[in-house]
Each structure stands twice: as C-alpha cells, then as structure tokens.
A and B are shown apart, each in its own frame.
Chain A
C-alpha cells in the first residue's frame, strides 16, 4: 500500500514541478520583455 502512495506522490510532484518551471520561465520572459520595452522608451 505504501509503495502506491510513494509512486503517486512522485508522479504528482513531477507534474507540479513541470508547471512550476514553466511558470518561472514565463515570468522571466515576461520580465525581460518589459525591461527591453522600458529600455527602448528610455525609462531605464
């Protein structure tokens, strides 16, 4: 029984980690785009 809980938690954790990494990458891209936009407008 315990092994099923462990397998479930590993698979579930992997899914959440993938979503978290995607969120972090999207945030970095968005922030970088905003930074470049401000730089072009001379508001750096």
Chain B
C-alpha cells in the first residue's frame, strides 16, 4: 500500500510537468521532440522524490537509525545537486551559449531515474517492515 501511494502521490505528481508537456506535444501540429524533453521537468521530479524521502523517514522511530541517517543524508545531497541543476537550467534559459542542453538533459534524466530507484528502495523497506 505504501508503495502504491508513493507511486501515485510522488512519482506521478513529480512527473506532472512532463505529462503536461507530453499532452501538448500530442495535440500540437508540429511534433518537435526538442520541446518534449526539458531538464527542468526532470529536476522537479528528482526534487519531489527526495523531499518525499526525507518527509517519510523523518517521522519514523522504528527504523535503524544509522540507515535512516544515511538515507536522509543522501537525499539532502541529492536536493543540493538538483538545486544546482535547476539553477543551470534557469541560466540556460537566459543565456543558451553557456551550456549544451543535450548534456544537461541527459544528466537530469539519469539523475531523476536514479532518484526514483533510490526512493523505491526506501519505500520497499518501509512497505516490507509494515507488512512483517
């Protein structure tokens, strides 16, 4: 149940910017994939997922404190990385000569997929512990 809620409330909500972009892409006459993928959307997904991790772990008393601290620490580092990525995308939108969009997009996609997997591993443990 926890994992289902996590998927609906976190992953789907985090993917809303991308889903909106996808809907616009489907209904648009000129199909330009350049407009479909934006690094900012994936940075938002990563931020949402990691903030949810911290929120979920913070209130739990029944977990191994060392593991919990590690998870929260990694999530905080991830949030910092996503904040930097977010700033880079904003700078890119102002001046597109500083960064190459292709690299930033690939980086943000890799990081967001990793964050979803990381969050899945945390919620898998929370789900299993509740089931025991």
Residue ranges of A at the interface with B (Cβ–Cβ < 8 Å): 1-3, 5-6, 8-10, 12-13, 16-17, 19-21, 23-24, 26-27, 30-31, 34
Contact = CB atoms under 8 A, between A and B. Distances in A.
Nearest to A37: B132
B73 to A, nearest CB: 10
Contacts of A3: 103
Q: Classify the interface of chain A: helix, strand, loop or mixed.
A: helix
Q: Classify the interface of chain B: helix, strand, loop or mixed.
A: helix
Interface in B24-53: none
Interface of B: 67, 70-71, 74, 78, 81, 85, 88, 98-100, 102-104, 106-108, 110-111, 113-115, 117-118, 120-122, 124-125, 128, 131-132
B107 A6 contact: yes
Nearest to A10: B110
